[in-house]
Structure formats: structure tokens, C-alpha cells
Amino acid sequence: MLGLAEAGYIPGAIYTLSTWYRKRELGTRVAIFFFGMFGGNALSPILASGILHLDGAQGLAGWQWIFLLEGCFTMAVGILLLLVLPGSPDEPRPLLTKGVIVFSERDQYILQERLIADDFEKRIGAQGMTIPWELVCKTLLHYKRWPSLLSTFCVFATWSPLTTYTPTIYVDLGFDRIATNALATVGASLALVVVFFFAWLSDRTNRRGYCVIMAQVCYLITLVIARQVQSSVGQWGRWGLWTAVNAFAVGYHPIHNTCGSISAPKRCIDISS
């Protein structure tokens, strides 16, 4: 149920960003959006370590405290977005209030015109668009999407478990619990730099497909080096290798999402776009 509830968050957020920014601006904006996710990965080991000390308090286990505290925070942020998150350039006010930032008619006109000049298909306005099921099916079944989906599957299947269990891996390397949680933040923090670099490069060159492949190749090289070298280095050397794995694992992710967001089904995975 938790996975079902959160499944639409990233696609919805990236779609919302695509209604506010031009194509050549979107990559870095999506990367900044992912700073929240990757920054959370950097802080979560420390937070979890602290919350787990509540194990047994009020009759609740440590993992229950994690769900309770982090779940309450998530719900609070969700409610806050209803009050402050602008809708789209054609309807910029949030759902429940006038918003913190109030857009004048001239602001809306400038926003809409710069988007239309970049992509005429956005002339309808994000909140007035309809997406027929035929287009959904065409997008999913288009053969040029499948190499992209396959690469995502292969890369995600490796970096997700490796980064998720990084604290456990560090414990196995001989670090104590406090040191493990502190050291686990280093790779996730470096990932922010890697993610932003590849996103900036994709916007700068407009070669998003090549940038995705470049980021994935860098991650592959890091994995191969870690696999070949880890048996011949000491504790800190292995930590360095795993830190590099964490840093390069997600470099492709924001660009990949950007590519799918700004491209029509017939040209979505054209490698030169």
C-alpha cells in the first residue's frame, strides 16, 4: 500500500516541472528536484539511527517509530503543498489558497509565451490537457522506449539494493554503528554533485541520450573496479570503493526522467535527442 501510494509522486512532480520550464532548462531543474531524494538518502541513516533508539518507548518497536515520525512528516509536507505549490502557468494558484507567490496577469502571459515558443504543444495549458488512453498505449508499446526501459531495469536492479544496504555493508567492513551512519552520508552527498554535473551537461549540450549512457558507463566502470579491487585493499579502501559506487549510481537518473518527460512517443528515445 505504501508503494502504491508513492508510485505517482516522481512522475507527477517531473510532469509539473515540465509545465513550468523550457526543454533546455528542465534537466538541471529535475536534478535539483532529486536533491530532495538523494539528500534524504544522505541523512536517513543518521535519522534512522537516532529514531531506532526509541525502541520500546510507549510500547512501540524502533521500526514503528520510524514509520510514525517520518510518516507524520511526509503527510505534513503533503498538506503544505496543497496550500503553497503553484499549479501551472495557466492556473498558477495552489489548490486551496492564493499561494505564497502571487502571479500577475503579465507574469502568466510571459510564462505561457516562453513555453509556447519552446514547444507549441504546450499552448493548451497543463491543467487543460487531456491524455487519451490511446496515447498511453502508444507510448508504452513504442519500440524505441524498450532499450531505455531495459537499461533502467538493469541499472536500478544494482544500485537500489547496493545503496539501500550501504550501512549494513559498512558494518560488515568492521565499522561501528555510529561511524557507519556517518560514513554512509558521504557517498550520498557526493551523488548530488554527480547528478547535477550530468544534468547540467545534458542541458548544455542537449544530448540527453549520450549523457544518460555516459553516466551509466561511469557507474559500470566503478562497479567493475570495486569488484576487482576490493579483495586486495583494507577497510578504508573498501569504504572508498563503496562510496564511489554510491556517488555514481544515480548520475543518470534525473536525465533519464527528463528525456521521457520532454519527448513525444515517436521520438522519445532517439539517442541524439
- Check residue 221 and give its pLDDT: 93
- Check residue 102 and give its pLDDT: 80
Give the span between the Cα atoms of 213 and 151, in whole angstroms.
9
- Check residue 206 and give its pLDDT: 81
3-state class (DSSP) for residue 20 = coil
Q: Which residues of the chain carry a pLDDT beneath 50?
A: 264-273
Give the span between the Cα atoms of 158 and 145, in whole angstroms.
21
Q: Nearest-CA neighbor of 269 among 190, 184, 212, 186?
A: 212
> Are the CB atoms for 41 and 191 separated by under 8 Å?
yes
Burial class (CB in 10 A: 0-12, 13-18, 19+), 122: buried
- What residues does each domain of the chain span? 132-273
pTM of the model: 0.68
